[in-house]
Structure 1
Amino acid sequence: MSTFANTLDSNNWVATWAGPVARHPAAMEPIAQKTLRLRIEASVGGRAVRVVLTNEYGTSPLRIGAASIATVDQDGDEGQPAPLTFGGQSSIDVAVGAVALSNDVELSVDPGQHLFVKLYLPVETKPESAVLVQGPELPLSHPLAVALLDFERVELSSEGDFTDVTGLPGATPGVHLPFLSRVDVLAQADVSTVAVLGTTYTDGLDVWPDHLSRLWNTQPGQERFSIVNLSARGGSMSRGHAPSGREGVVTLFDREVLSLPGISHVIVSEARQDITTAGARSLNADGSRSESSDGEELPVTAESLKAAYRQLIAKAHVRGVKVLAATMPPFRGVPAPGYYSDEKDDLREEINTWILESGEFDGVIDIDALMRDPEDTRQYREQYRSANFYGPNPQGHAAIAASIDPAALQ
């Protein structure tokens, strides 16, 4: 495996994995002289790879002593790591607030294949920027807790640089995906990137964008769309910052979405968070209402949400990117104080009707029609709702993916 340039008959780079970067909630201790191993799933395959590292929320330069990438076989075994370089160098200092793009390296990747990215941190480093794959650290007893899949996404080694060997001595599990924001592949000429911008129920593992990627990209050489999930727990459409502290979608759209290589479409399903958190108080780990929130109504209206959608459409169309909107499924029954009211649900239905009938989008995906109970349209169908009523269960996520026709993205 060696770094190369201009040796393939295609120069079509697409994002095969990406995540929404946020400030790490300080769940990990500072790391020094150890190796991180991060596991991601490729949406589409290719013949070369490159990665993007992030220090967007860092308060000091991020020192990467060495980095590598390797494929993972069906038994979970790591292949021989390919070294990653940055400007031809094996190490790099990523400035505060900046990102770093690696040189490309020849590596054959299949659609749906897992990849390991290893980062050696030679000096004490706080994991301040990360893709929050697990959401808030909540006990399973919490009404909004989300169960995780049974494979490790983040592991930390014992002391040493293990970027150039298989395995990870002394591996212990971590949380979230520090410092890695994107992995690109050199794909076939007709493959493009599709970004999904959803809210909390679309953020996580084995959600409908994951199912969609696996449905559409089953065989090497037959891929058409790389599905990358930029959904963020606690994201917001109409606010500059969400109650979670994360910057809003309109604020991040240029940086996280339109910067994706090969971007052709965006699927937006985000506004429910704005509606449900208006006037709602946050929850403590035991499920009780937080007294630190004043509970005052936030200015979320149909017009403010439409204006936010229109900003995304305008920005995307300038870049030749198409925007599809997904309708919002119901949310009655969520056990969070102030989360549901009939007035909030009326606003959800008003926005859904506008999405379906306005003609302002390049396409529509009617998730609400699929998920809602025909006998009571303010709640989920029983066979598709999760135990906490917050979003779809695994069958619901699979059903959403199966309902989306690739022709909708033409």
Structure 2
Amino acid sequence: MAVNLSDGSVGLVTPQVAHFDEPFTFSSGAVLRSHELVYETYGQLNNAGDNAVLICHALSGSHHAAGYHSQDDRRPGWWDLAIGPGKPIDTDRLYVVCSNNLGCCDGSSGPNTINPATSEPWGGAFPQPQVKDWVRSQKRLAEHLNIPRWAAVIGGSLGGMQALQWAVDFPDWVEHCIALAAAPGLTAQNIAFNEIARHAILSDPDWCQGDYLAQGKLPTRGVALARMVGHLTYMSADGMSDRFGRELREGSFAPSDNSEWVFQVESYLRHQGARFSTQFDANTYVLMTRALDLFDLAAEYKNDLVAALSVAKANFLIASFSSDWRFPPQRSIEIRDALLAAGKPVTYANIDTDNGHDGFLLPNPTYQALLSAWMCRVGPA
């Protein structure tokens, strides 16, 4: 297809690579002697440097948040809905940055990149990152790009957790914090879902203790099953019923039909799992879900969320999605209430939608209007 520049697209974009020779120490104490971050930018940084916006990606996201990599791309970046000229995050006046997190699999230093000590892929030896580590690495990238402060830090799901961590760890750096479909920490149920997904990967015969790349294998069965479980939790019951119902993809309900029944929803989940299994690194999936499990915004403040958020200086927009049962509205309300108790400026909205946890990625007039109205106050007038 030919890229259409008339729909508010940022057009063709080229990923960039920032190389850092200074050692990076993870929260665990593990050290990378050097590392690389892959990132994309949209728009232009102004002379004052006060129009920069950081986009933080979620579990399966990447640095490619908007635009296209080639004229033949079928899909734009994962948040093209929101980023571009005239869109809520307007690149005609804002400078937007999105990086691929450490430990991920789209070019930044991670399990599928080469460990200089062994000249082999890092595999299972890559250090476990935490949300705090990603925030510190993003700060290094900001300094590399001569950005003195973020006009806004924005993210959904795991990305929203990074935005909140930014507001707490580097309060002088964040003017606006926008956390969508996020939580201050995972519930036991959420941790359990992540463990099921990890167990599927670790049980795959081709897992090879995480060193499958060095052995020329891929644990595709485990990754496919992990994705099916994860994807199921991102959708709402009503949304699935409306989309798939009890319709069959193959076979029929006729008494004389002895062929295998395949429901539409089965076919959809199988397709999602199969596609994901060859596109996303298994080690990265394990690291990312563990980072989710370990995230606890209040942990360093004696488990007091109000105390944690008391150090923040940002203006907050907290949004939830009515049918999201993975990170339900109550989790966002916890953040809102803690911010109010800490005396911080906060706006909260619960978006009515059947799109489940994926609601922050999908079109919704109310959601898009809210984001547009908020972003009008971000950056220079």
TM over 0.5: no
TM-score grouping bracket, smaller chain normalisation: 0.3 to 0.5
Normalized per residue, the structure richer in helix is: 2
TM-score by length of 1: 0.34
Normalized per residue, the structure richer in strand is: 1
TM-score by length of 2: 0.36
